[in-house]
Amino acid sequence: MTVPERGRLSDESGARGEVLAKVVVITSGKGGVGKTTTAAAFAAGLALRGHKTVVIDFDVGLRNLDLIMGCERRVVFDFINVINGDANLNQALIKDKRNDNLFIFPDFADARQGRAQARWGRACA
Ligand SMILES: Nc1ncnc2c1ncn2[C@@H]1O[C@H](COP(=O)(O)OP(=O)(O)OP(=O)(O)O)[C@@H](O)[C@H]1O
Ligand SMILES: [Mg+2]
């Protein structure tokens, strides 16, 4: 994987050009192996190195990245709101309080899961 340097990166041939963003997908066929933890740590690391970073939770209906990032009480709009056009990206992105380069894009959680997660968040606080 090549991490872009200040908005530029090399393609396969080594040619350099302007890029808007680079996407890193963290996925696995197996559950509970550390995907979300890795995504959170990796995103925080990129942001600390000066890269403007958005970490996106794609665990539709079962989000927990917001809990790991400590912003679960700041979630107003989520991925589904943006897809449905009920909110725009700027409204949904949550700016990390520790790093100005880091933004969290939370996924959808239904009302029951939301309440369960809130309880879990308070228990861990
Ligand atoms: N490197 C690690 N060493 C030990 N424990 C870890 C490590 N990474 C994650 N964990 C722990 O493993 C558990 C699962 O981690 P995590 O939620 O990140 O996995 P996941 O792959 O996203 O799970 P899911 O498939 O449910 O989304 C958590 O309790 C987490 O704290
Ligand atoms: Mg996960």
With a 6 Å cutoff on the Cβ, whether 34 touches ligand 1 is yes
87 C-alpha to ligand 2 centroid (Å): 24
pLDDT of residue 60: 79
Taking CA atoms only, the protein residue closest to ligand 1 atom 11 is: 34
**Shortest-distance ligand to the CA of residue 32:** 1
Least Cα distance to 40 among 52, 19, 29, 26 occurs for: 26
Say how many C-beta atoms besides its own lie within 10 A of residue 32's C-beta.
7
pLDDT of residue 20: 78
pLDDT of residue 1: 44
Q: Which residues, listed in sequence order, are joined to residue 53 by a DSSP beta bridge? A: 102
pLDDT digit string (tens) for the chain, length 125 residues: 445 455 555 556 656 667 778 999 999 989 999 999 999 999 999 999 999 999 999 887 788 999 999 999 999 999 889 988 999 999 999 999 999 999 999 988 765 555 555 555 666 66
Q: Which atom belonging to ligand 1 lies closest to the Cα atom of 31?
A: 25
Specify the pTM.
Answer: 0.78
Question: Burial of 81 by CB count in 10 Å (0-12 exposed, 13-18 middle, 19+ buried)?
Answer: middle
